[in-house]
Amino acid sequence: RLTGQQQEINNLIQRKIAVDEENARLKNEFSNLNQKFKDKSQELKDTEECAQNKEEQNRLVIKNLEEENKGLNTCCADLLNDLEKLRKQEAQWKTEKSGNDARIKNLETDLAEAREQMKELRSICSNLSTQVAVKQEELSQKDCDVIRARKELQEMQNLYRQNIKHTAQQAELIKQLQALNTD
């Protein structure tokens, strides 16, 4: 009976040793797992911090991009307004240019007509100059004729005066002769 108990005690001691070994192994494994858990927790914490930092940076980048986008939208709106103004101005200039082109065409036509008229007027002037030269020649001839006529008139007036004198003398002589005849 004692041997049986001794055997049982030995079995129990062996089981206890086995349990203690298993326990030590499990404790070791638990310690390793706990260390791994701590490492992974730290890693997770670091990752979360990194992600948070990245998220903050991304928020800042997005905010900056949104502000930049707002500025670009304003700039784009201004440029579109400027473009619209320039298009209106271009349309106005085209209208003005069209009007100016028509005016230039009319002026060119007027100029061509004026040149034609000038040509005709030059021709008329040339003819008139020739006629004036002829008339001046005629006038010069007439002046000579007038001078000659004046001389002749002067001579005739002189003759007329002399004639009147002679007539007066003759009348006087006739009176004297009549008086003598009466006597």
Distance, CA of 18 to CA of 167 (rounded, Å): 204
Q: Given a cut of 90, is residue 169 above it in pLDDT? A: yes
Distance, CA of 92 to CA of 86 (rounded, Å): 10
Q: Enter the pTM of the model.
A: 0.40
The pLDDT value recorded for residue 115 is 96
Q: Which 8-state DSSP code applies to residue 183? A: -
Confidence category of residue 158, pLDDT binned at 50, 70, 90: very high
Q: State which H helix or E strand residue 110 sits in.
A: helix 2-182
Confidence category of residue 30, pLDDT binned at 50, 70, 90: very high
Angle at 105 between CA 99 and CA 108, to 5 degrees: 140
Reported as a single tens digit per residue, the pLDDT across 40-50 is 999 999 999 99
Return the beta strands (E) in 3-60 as ranges: none
Query: What does pLDDT average to over the chain?
Result: 94
Confidence category of residue 2, pLDDT binned at 50, 70, 90: low
Structure tokens at 146: 């007038």
The pLDDT value recorded for residue 3 is 81
Distance, CA of 59 to CA of 65 (rounded, Å): 10
The pLDDT value recorded for residue 15 is 94
The pLDDT of 82-93, averaged and rounded, is 95
| Length reported for the chain | 183
Reported as a single tens digit per residue, the pLDDT across 49-65 is 999 999 999 999 999 99
